[in-house]
Every structure is written in structure tokens, then in C-alpha cells.
Amino acid sequence: MTRSTLFPWRNIDPSALATLVCIPSAGGSASVFRPWTDELGLAIDVAAAEMPGWGTRYGELPAPSIAALVGELAEELEETPPGRFALFGHSLGGLVAYSLARALLDREGPSPLLLVVSGVAAPSSAVQTRRLSTLCDEDLIDQLRTLNGTAPEILDDAEMLRHYLPMVRKDFELVESFRHQAGPPFDFPILALGGSRDPQVPPSAVRGWRKETRAQCRVRIVDGDHFFIHQRRQEVLEAILWELNSELGLLG
């Protein structure tokens, strides 16, 4: 795996102070983060990860487990200087980002300066979410409409759904098969973002991220549903940028 394949959207700038590694949600592509490259400014290099089977990696077999995704990402980040990158993930991407941070710690690899988890319950949370991977096609389509993160032109196109539904089922299987392996709290801060009207992840489950770090854990509940990161993108990016600037010592 080459870096250009794993990170197809990346605004490499020699003057950047840190890299924000972004991991998409179930059914998502790295391309959703392309607008972030301009909106976060030149000081932050955005590296959007492409998961197998999606976007520029269309045709590849989907990942068999979150551990497989984490292994691929950890290998790419092992030589990154500590404190020069942050991790962001939404929904499934949040579980991957958290597991990646845990794997880097276990490998004695570099630590991120910040972990941003969005639209995902804390791993120790007892919240029960509905299994989506086993729904019939009609019910799965209804759930995707409710979550409001899939383009209507996909959900209304039978030919596109023939490819999309099996792939998104595989992504949901990754979420549903995730098992929390407790570990020591992180020493770096966490920004936990949630949607006030998220039908999958209630705000109480987002607040549980405070247990995962000895450092600051700031919780922001944003007005919106599960995909508030698109509906309230400017607010989300401002929150992320504030945290990054704080960790980089740029707020003084």
C-alpha cells in the first residue's frame, strides 16, 4: 500500500504544523474531507484515509475487521514524529481512530497530539444500537435515509444500490463486531463531538469519552442528526481547529 493510495486527498505543505488524519464513516469515502483542506488553513495538513472498497480503492475487498484497518494505518504512521499529527474519525471512523490510537500506544509508536471522535459512543458505553447489517434491503434503505448521510441519488438508483448496499453492510458489520479492549487512559486530549438529535448515539454516550484520557476531554454536542458534521461543518471545523491550535500553543 502506497501512501498516495491510502491518503488520496492530502494537502502537503512544508509549513504545516500538524497533520489531521481523517477516517470516514461507514459507506463514506476520503473525498468527503477534501473541502477541509482549505477550511482548516495552511497550518494543518489534512490526510484523508481511503478505506478498501470505497472511492479510489473501488474494487478492493472490504476490510475483514477494524483491526485490519488499524494495522494498515498504524504502519503508515509509525515513522511520524509524535505530537505532529491528530486523529479524526466519524461513526465507524471514530472507532477506527480510537483503536488506532490504542494500537500506536501498544506498539510504543508516536502519540497523536489530539484524538477527535465524532458521532460514536464511548467504547465503555452500554448504549445499544440497532443491528443494521442484517436488515432486509428495504429496511436498510429506510435506516440510511433516517441517518441522513447517504446521497438521495444513490438511495433512489437501483443499479447503484446493487453495489452500495453489500458494501455498506460490511462496514456496519465492522461496527457491530467491535469489542472494547480496556486499556490505560490516554495522556493526550480528546474532543468528543455528538449530534443533539442523533438517533444512533445519544449525547450521554458521547460524554463517556471522558473516561478514556487523563488529559482534557472536551465534549461538544452540536445541533443535528447523526451526520451533523456535514450539516454543521463550519462549527465542527472551528471546534477542531481551536483544539489543534490550543495543543500547538497558538492561542496565546
Element spanning 171, H or E: helix 158-177
Question: Residues with catalytic annotation?
Answer: 91
DSSP 92: H
What's the number of CA atoms in the CB half-sphere (13 Å) around residue 151?
9
Cβ atoms of 26 and 172 within 8 Å: the answer is yes
CA dist 200 and 113 (Å) reads 28
Amino acid at 118: S
Amino acid at 97: A
Closest CA to 105 of 68, 70, 69: 70
The total of other beta-carbon atoms located within 10 Å of residue 78's CB is 12
